[in-house]
Amino acid sequence: MNVTIFPAAALVLCISQSQFVVKLCPLGASMNGESQQANVSTDSHHIRHRYCQNRPLYRRSRQLTAVRVYSVANESRHLLIFGVPQINLLRELRQELVRHGALESISNITDGWQREHADSDELMLEPFTDVFHVCFAKLEKARQAKKLLDARNFYGGILHISYAPERESVEETRAKLNQRRSEVRYRTKLDAQQKNRQQQHPSHPGVGVDRPLSAKQTTKKTAKHSR
């Protein structure tokens, strides 16, 4: 039985949206490749998807869109905005975003992004463009800004906006999930109240159900009995 023993080893965590992998590698080996693979896997949701061309006619919208499903954990107040022309448009971009909601922060992260993804062709930026990290005060405002500004022309560049939940803190993620729970609880409570009202006051009463008589009907009825 052959047993290989490493004198020293290091754990490398590769965390992505769909998997959690723990790899064991010797310290003597180069860990640059592992760290770069981890960066690519965690940031793969920022890659622009192609537009869907084979939707049925009854499901096609006026504008082509990509098929993408977001969960509560995928959405975030943090956004990454790609495709901004590299002509110092920080102020103009802030003015455009403030129209959709209050901002907590906005910063240019082009240099850091290029260093982290230097060996990834899919995550490389377009030439002469910047990427900005934006944090909205409310999640619904970030959702609205992403919907209205994604794939739009901005000073000659086509914007690509994606959620960045990996930039959230633990407290922000906990608050986001608690907010979602409270919203679901409130909506289910409203639905239950509406069902109770419909049962108590049906809009189309059945056959044989006596309706309350009005004042005119009661006077006519008493007049007939008196005759």
pLDDT digits (tens, 9 = 90+) for 161-180: 999 999 999 999 999 999 99
78 within some domain:
yes
- Tell me the pTM: 0.65
214 within some domain:
no
- CA proximity to 167, closest of 85, 94, 75: 75
Q: Which residues sit opposite 81 in a β-bridge?
A: 132, 161
Q: State the pLDDT at residue 169.
A: 93
| Number of domains within the chain | 1
Write the CATH number for 119.
Answer: 3.30.70.330
Cβ(90)–Cβ(78) under 8 Å? no
80 within some domain:
yes
Segment 24-53 shows an average pLDDT of: 58
82 within some domain:
yes
DSSP code, position 46 = G
56 within some domain:
no
Q: Structural domain of residue 138, as residue ranges? A: 74-167
| Ramachandran sector of residue 155 (left: φ over 0; alpha: ψ -120 to 50; beta: rest) | left
No. of helices (H) and no. of strands (E), the chain: 6, 8
Provide the 3-class DSSP secondary structure of residue 44. Answer: helix
| pLDDT of 2 higher than 60 | no
> Which tops the pLDDT comparison, 224 or 122?
122
pLDDT digits (tens, 9 = 90+) for 84-113: 999 999 999 999 999 999 999 999 999 999
